[in-house]
Chain A
Amino acid sequence: MNNWPLWEIFIRSRQGLDHKHVGSLHAADAQMAIENARDVYTRRMEGVSIWAVESTNIHASNPDEADSLYEPSNDKPYRHPTFYDIPKEIGHM
């Protein structure tokens, strides 16, 4: 089994919710990845839908670059509703 590729598994726990990453597994192809995911990750009805994505197809941001990547949002508090003083009398807005 040394050459079976790695797959990332995403499960939708309930209709209406997003697929969420739950973990990964090895499988020869997509079909087997979904079947294995069913056996590994949904034994207790944890899901209604499975996505399997070959791990090599996931492109991730580099943690070492996190500072510069997210820095532009650091000095923009005005993107948050709490930045604005709305009088109490107006209530929720």
Chain B
Amino acid sequence: MTQAQFQARIDADIKIEPKDWMPEAYRKTLIRQISQHAHSEIVGMLPEGNWITRAPSLRRKAILLAKIQDEAGHGLYLYSAAETLGKTRESMIDDLHTGKAKYSSIFNYPTLSWADMGSVGWLVDGAAIMNQVALCRTSYGPYARAMVRICKEESFHQRQGYEVIMTLCRGTAAQKQMAQESLNRWWWPALMMFGPKDEDSPNTEQAMKWRIKRFTNDELRQRFIDATVPQAEFLGLTIPDPDLKWNEERQHYDSGNINWEEFYQVIAGNGPCNTARLAARQKAHDEGEWVREAAMAYSKKQEQRNKQVA
């Protein structure tokens, strides 16, 4: 198959499957994107794990545990999808730990109050869903199928987050204040989750051509803003953007400038929690070493035993 034939298949919306021929650059782009996505799910467990023991009720603890469990599952679906492209799980994990691979910059922010559990669900998962719904139609079959499964499970994540914030907003003045401060902390980092502005996103054009991405960063960001502003208004919360206003002509919200310097600093490893997040992952991996060894040793022993019986 030639590049032209490959592009013709993409243009006809025919999915690419693992054994199909694909340009090396397509394969590499996918491995990078899917593995980063997987890393984000796994590292994303850390900010929420911080609140399991301190969640305010048994109900909230159970929900939080279930949500974090889902994130681990989502990481697994995505690592498996990336493995169909020929990269091993081990080397992906190595790339995360050495810093060669990135993960979503949002998880380098700390979760300081219980309200942040609400904001993570409402805003961070809300932004992730915006992105992931679009990816259900991505051109690589295993990635698209993983996204469909993830989107189905993700809906409860956002709803429980909104419920947390709503409960705080209907509580005491101090609780509502806690919700507002949390929104102030998470609004801008959530907007950064969609990535750089289109004109500063060098990979977007090719990724759109290959239909790996179906919408640009700015399109998805606008969609998120338009969906979220009324949700904040309903709660009586104020979005921390003085330039935010409805544009009747565009039928979209106009919004203020994002602090891109902060975004690039966090990507470069200088966010509030980068070091702690990677250290936590590395520690979990190292301390799990004996479990992986023991499981393999047990399996070998069983195999030998079964042979002897036979």
**Footprint of B on A, CB under 8 Å?**
12, 15-18, 49, 76, 78-81, 83-87, 89-90, 93
Partner of B156, one of A16, A49, A79, A85: A79
Known A-B contacts A78-B66, A89-B234, A90-B231; A16 and B159 likewise in contact (beta carbons under 8 Å): no
Give chain A residues whose Cβ lies under 8 Å from the Cβ of B224: none
- Chain A residues whose C-beta falls within 8 Å of the C-beta of B178 in the assembled complex: none
CB <8 Å contact, A81 and B163: no
Given A16-B141, A18-B145, A89-B234, the answer on whether A84 and B156 have CB atoms closer than 8 Å is yes
- Contacting residues, chain A, for B15 (C-beta < 8 A): 15-16
Q: Once the chains are docked, how many angstroms separate the CA of A85 from the CA of B167? A: 11
B interface, over-half SS: helix
Q: List 25 A-B contacts (CB under 8 A).
A: A16-B14, A16-B17, A16-B141, A16-B144, A49-B17, A49-B19, A76-B62, A76-B66, A78-B59, A78-B62, A78-B66, A78-B160, A79-B66, A79-B70, A81-B155, A81-B159, A84-B156, A84-B159, A84-B160, A84-B163, A86-B159, A89-B234, A90-B234, A93-B159, A93-B231
Where the two chains meet, the residues of B that have a C-beta atom closer than 8 Å to any C-beta of A are 14-17, 19, 59, 62-63, 66, 70, 126, 141, 144-145, 153, 155-156, 158-160, 162-163, 166, 230-231, 234
Q: What distance in Å separates the Cβ of A41 from its nearest Cβ neighbour in chain B? A: 18
Closest-by-CB residue of A relative to B15 is A16
Q: Identify which of A17, A76, A90 contacts B162 (C-beta below 8 A).
A: A90
In the bound complex, what is the Cα–Cα distance between A93 and B228 (angstroms)?
10
Closest to B231 in A: A90
- A78 with B234: CB separation less than 8 A: no
Option from B16, B59, B144, B162 in Cβ contact (under 8 Å) with A86: B162
